[in-house]
């Protein structure tokens, strides 16, 4: 067993999210600086690239499965993790700023950590990748 296999799944998920964020930012900056793409379009493409990396890493490393089907988990990921997580994060950011008086970046950081631990990880484990993992253990 490799040392990375012994790392807890929530920590692996945090590492995957960090890698996805790096891909997102590199794509965004590269498309703007190298290709002169409009920042809004570059932002969309960066998010899609980061999301694809995050989904692939989570499916392979955080919630491994021998199930070759990926469309169902991908659709659940898009709806529950991406859209659901964005809505939860937006609400938490607003709460942090309006109620707690936090600066925007601190509210964003706190929201990101809370969404990862309290939304994305449980939703991914129980709903997005659960069916694939159950079939892998049968």
Question: 27 CB contacts (<8 Å, ≥6 apart)?
Answer: 42, 45, 46, 49, 50
Residue 33, number of CB atoms within 10 A of its CB: 10
Residue 138 has pLDDT above 50, yes or no: no
pLDDT in tens, 66-96: 888 889 999 999 999 988 888 898 899 999 9
- pTM equals 0.78
Average pLDDT, the chain: 87
pLDDT in tens, 53-68: 999 999 999 998 888 8
102 token code pair: 């936090």
Q: What percent of the chain has pLDDT over 90?
A: 56
Domain-wise residue ranges, the chain: 7-62, 67-138
Please, where are the H alpha helices in the chain?
9-33, 39-57, 71-76, 85-98, 104-115, 121-123, 130-137
Do 129 and 106 form a contact (C-beta atoms < 8 A)? Answer: no
């Amino acid at each position: 067993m490799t040392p990375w296999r012994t790392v807890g799944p929530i920590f692996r998920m945090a590492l995957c999210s960090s890698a996805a964020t790096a891909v997102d930012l590199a794509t965004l900056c590269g498309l703007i600086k190298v290709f002169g793409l409009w920042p809004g379009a570059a932002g969309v493409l960066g998010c899609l690239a980061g999301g694809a990396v995050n989904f692939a890493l989570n499916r392979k490393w955080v919630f491994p499965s021998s199930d070759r089907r990926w469309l169902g988990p991908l659709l659940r990921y898009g709806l529950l993790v991406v859209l659901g997580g964005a809505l939860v994060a937006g609400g938490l950011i607003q709460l942090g700023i309006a109620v707690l008086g936090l600066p925007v970046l601190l509210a964003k950081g706190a929201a990101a950590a809370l969404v990862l631990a309290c939304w994305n990880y449980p939703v991914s484990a129980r709903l997005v990748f659960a069916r694939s993992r159950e079939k892998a253990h049968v």
